[in-house]
Amino acid sequence: MKRFGFYRVGCAVPEVRVADCTYNKNTMIELIKKAQKKNVDILLFPELSITGYTCGDLFFQNLLLSKSEEAVKEIAAFLEDKEITVVLGVPVKVSGRIYNCAAVINKGKILGIVPKIFIPEYNEFYEKRWFSSGKDLEENRPIEYAGQEMLMGNNILFCDAADREFIFGIEICEDLWVPIPPSSRHALNGAALILNLSASNDLVGKREYRAELVKQQSARCVASYAYASSGFGESTTDVVYGGDAMISENGTILTESERFLFQSQLIYADVDNEKLINDRMKKHSTFRSANNANNEKYDFVEFASGQDKQEIQRTFPKFPFVPSKNSDRNKRCEEIFNIQVTALAKRITHTSTKALVVGISGGLDSTLALLACVKTCDKMGIDRTMIKAITMPGFGTTDRTYNNAIELTKRLKVSLEEISIKAAVMQHFKDIGHDPDLHNVTYENSQARERTQILMDIANRDAGLVVGTGDLSELALGWATYNGDHMSMYGINSGIPKTLVRYLVKWIADNSLKDVKDILYDVLDTPVSPELLPPDKEGNIAQKTEEVVGPYELLDFFLYYMVRFGFRPEKIYRIAQISFKGEYDKETIYKWLRKFYVRFISQQFKRSCLPDGPKVGSINLSPRGDWRMPSDASMSLWLEELDSMIK
C-alpha cells in the first residue's frame, strides 16, 4: 500500500528506575516491541530515558555513563532487523564533557547524536551542574560511541532514504522554551517533523502552557511536532514528572498521553508529511522568504523507513470547511457572515449604489445572498427597501420554492418584483429555432441567461448593483450558465462552499434573523436544484443537482484536499473511503471523484472571468487570488491515475 506521505510517529513514556540502565533498557525494548506491532515508523523516548533524568551528581559517575552506553549498544543490536527508527535520551561524554543528548538508531546503526543546546541554570533541577551546552560544538563532528562511528552536533537532520522530502530534526526540552528554538532552524532547512525529548516537571497550569508551546511551534514551523516527557519512576524528591506526551500537526493536537499513570504508555498518530510540504510550498511565502535568508550548513543522514506497510489510522473530517464543534461552528459562521457584510458595505460605499438587485429563487444560495444584503443594510442604517428582490418564475419553478421566495421577501420587508420569464424565453426559442419540447442545455441555459439579463437591466434602471448568488462549490464544478448565473456585479457567496452555505443559513436562522426562521428551515429542507426543467407530475422538483454532479459533501471533500493541499486523486480516493465509510462505497466515491476532476479542469474558463467577490476561507477560486490556472489545461494526467486505480 502506498504511503502518500503518511508516517506513524509514536511517543513512549517508560516507567523508569533512576540510574538503573538495565531496567530502563528492558522497559524501552518492550515499548519498542509494542510500537512495532502498531507499525510505528519513528518512536520517541523522553530526555535521558536510558538513565532517568533525575540522577543528579550520579551523572559524574563513570559507571553510570559506561552502563548507559552499553544499554544504547544493546538497543541498537535489538533494532538491527527491525523496521523502526528509535530516538532516545542518553548522557554522552566527549572530550571530558558530558552532554545531554538524543541518539537516533535505525537498523542497528546509530545514525547521529544531537546534544541539548539550552541548559537551564536556575530551576528545581540544576542541570548546568552536569551538562555542557551543544553550543560548545561549533560544527558537527565525528565521534565514536557504543562501538560505532557517527556524527554529533546541532545541525544534523535525518531523512527517509525512500522519500527525501520526509526529514526530521531534534531538540531537547528547554530548547523549545527559548525565543528562537532550534526547531525553527531545522524547519527552515527542510525538517517537517520535530522530535522533542523532554523532562518537564508538572506544576499547576504548566501542562496547558506546554501544550500551547507545542501547538504554536508546530504551526510556526508548518510541521508535525512530537513531544515526550519523563513519567513515573523519576525521583520525587522535590518535583513530580507526570509523563506528558503529545503529537501535534500544524497547530492541531492529534493525540496526547494520560498524565500521572503509574506505568509505561505509548501513543502514536499518523502525520501527513505531504500536506505539510505542500502547505509550505504554496501558502507560506513568508516561510520561503525566511528560508532564503538561512545559510547554515546541515548534515543530512539517511534512515530506512520500511514504507508501504500500514493502513492509515487517522480521521479526516467529512466536512473540512465546517468546524465539527458547535461552539467553533457558531463562531465561524458569525465571522463569515461579517466578512460578507463588510465586503458588501465597502462595495455599496464605493459605487454609491442606489439598489442591491438579487435574483431570489427560494433556494439556498439566493437566500444567503439576500440575507447578507439585509444584514448589510441594517448595519449601515439603510432602509431594506433598497434591496430589489426579483423572483423570475420559469418552466421549472415549483410552488414550494416560489412561495418561500415570496414570503421571505415580504417578511424581511425588502422590495419585491415578480417577472415571469416564460414568454420571453418562448420568444427566444422561436427566434433561434429551438423546439421547446427539447429539454437540452439550450433549453436550460436560455432561462438562466434571461434571468441574468433582467437583473442587469433592473440594476441599470435603478442605478443598482447585481449581487451574485453562486457559491464556491458551483464555481469548482462549473455548475453555472456561462454569462447567466455565472455573472453578476459582485459575487457575495463566491468564497463559500455548498456544505458551509447550509450551516451558515441555519446559523442566521437561529441567531440573527429569527423572525424568518421557519421559512429558512424549509429552504434548508428543499432539494438543491436550478429548477430549469419542468416539475414532476406532483409538482415537485424533478431536476436535483446532486443526482447530476454528485453529493456536495463528497465534492467539497474532494475540492478541499485537491486545491488546499494538492493531493493526487489516489490519495483523495483513499482518505475519502476512510471518512465516508458506511455511507458511500468505493465505487460511488470513485464515480464522483472522476466526474469532479473532469468538471473542475474543463470548467476553468468560467472561473477565469469571475466577477469580484470576497475570500472567506482557506480556498478561493478567483483568478485574481488563490487559483490561477489556464483554461485549456489538459486533464490527461489526472484521468490516467484515476483509470489506473480500478484496473
Contact 193, 7 (CB under 8 A): yes
Contact 172, 196 (CB under 8 A): yes
Question: Using CA atoms, how far apart are residues 310 and 299, in angstroms rounded to an integer?
Answer: 30
47, 127, 274, 474: which one is catalytic? 47
- Per DSSP, the three-state class of 224 is strand
Question: Using CA atoms, how far apart are residues 19 and 224, in angstroms rounded to an integer?
Answer: 32
25, 67, 73, 116: which one is catalytic? 116
List of residues 6+ apart from 159 with CB closer than 8 A: 166, 167, 168, 190, 300, 301, 302, 303
Question: Using CA atoms, how far apart are residues 610 and 483, in angstroms rounded to an integer?
Answer: 10
Please give the grid coordinates belonging to residue 427: 420568444
Please give the grid coordinates belonging to residue 69: 552506553
- Per DSSP, the three-state class of 571 is helix
47 part of the active site: yes
List of residues 6+ apart from 615 with CB closer than 8 A: 495, 622, 625, 626
173 part of the active site: yes
Burial class, 26, CB count within 10 angstroms (exposed 0-12 / middle 13-18 / buried 19+) = middle
Give one DSSP letter per residue of 298-320, joined into a string: -EEEEE----S---------S-T
Contact 477, 555 (CB under 8 A): yes
21, 55, 173, 373: which one is catalytic? 173
Question: Using CA atoms, how far apart are residues 452 and 446, in angstroms rounded to an integer?
Answer: 10
Q: Which of 106, 121, 28 is nearest to 68 (CA)?
A: 28
* 58: DSSP letter: G
Alpha carbon 449 to its chain centroid, in Å, reads 37
Helix (H) or strand (E) holding 18: none
**Unique residue bearing C-alpha cell 527542510:** 190
Give one DSSP letter per residue of 125-186, joined into a string: S-GGGT-B-GGG-SS-EEEEETTEEEEESSSEEEEETTEEEEEEEEEEGGGGGSSS-HHHHH
Strand order in the sheet with 355-359: 415-418, 387-391, 355-359, 464-468, 490-491
- Which positions are annotated as active-site residues? 47, 116, 173
